[in-house]
Amino acid sequence: MLRDPSLRPLSRQHQHALALCVRIERTSRTGKLDLEAWQAELQQIFELEIQQHFAAEEREIFPAAARFSSLEGLVKELIAEHGVLRDLFTQAGARRLDGEGIRRLAMLLEAHIRREERQLFEGMQQMMGAEELAAIGKAVDTMLEGSGPACALPPKGSGSVRET
């Protein structure tokens, strides 16, 4: 199903975050992961975009979706996943993640995004009318104003230092 225009800004941010997850996975496969550089990037991404993205979902998307019994359980699970992901981003900001922690963050973030896209957004589009989706989209757009790009380029040489 094509994504409703009202949900596209969130889907675009999902694409950026998925690109980050791919970059982490590819770099970790090489056995070279600059922990400081990756944690700095994760902190920046969280502060510039993901934090606002989560807030928009929790304030506008999740309550609207939770009104439908078929989506209520999924919404509760997604809210819990936001908590786990926030904790991992906080650990990155404090430079407390090791290579496994960075890989875990990427794996959980990817799975979370896929659930939102494939289950939540699809379900919302099937159950909500165009006017309701448009109203939600307008509120989300307002909340996302000023959020930056989610996938900045890593600092030069960030994949060249052995993990410690």
pLDDT tens for each residue of 26-74 = 999 998 889 999 999 999 999 999 999 999 999 999 999 999 999 999 9
Question: Alpha helices, DSSP H only, in the chain?
Answer: 8-29, 35-45, 51-56, 62-66, 69-93, 99-115, 122-127, 130-144
* pLDDT at residue number 56: 97
Q: What band does 1 get if pLDDT is binned at 50, 70 and 90?
A: confident
Q: Partners of 162 in the beta sheet?
A: 32
- Residues 136 and 61: their CA atoms lie apart, in Å, by 7
- Which 3 state secondary structure label does DSSP give 12? helix
Full set of structural domains in the chain with CATH: 9-143 (1.20.120)
What's the pTM? Answer: 0.88
* pLDDT at residue number 33: 87
Q: Are 155 and 37 spatial neighbours (Cβ–Cβ below 8 Å)?
A: yes
Write down the residue that tokens 């993990």 correspond to.
Answer: 163
- Residues 158 and 30: their CA atoms lie apart, in Å, by 12
Within 10 angstroms of residue 148's Cβ, the number of other Cβ atoms is 11
* pLDDT at residue number 149: 55
Q: Are 56 and 144 spatial neighbours (Cβ–Cβ below 8 Å)?
A: yes
- Residues 9 and 150: their CA atoms lie apart, in Å, by 12
The two structure tokens encoding residue 156: 């030069």
- Residues 139 and 59: their CA atoms lie apart, in Å, by 9
Write down the residue that tokens 């379900």 correspond to.
Answer: 123
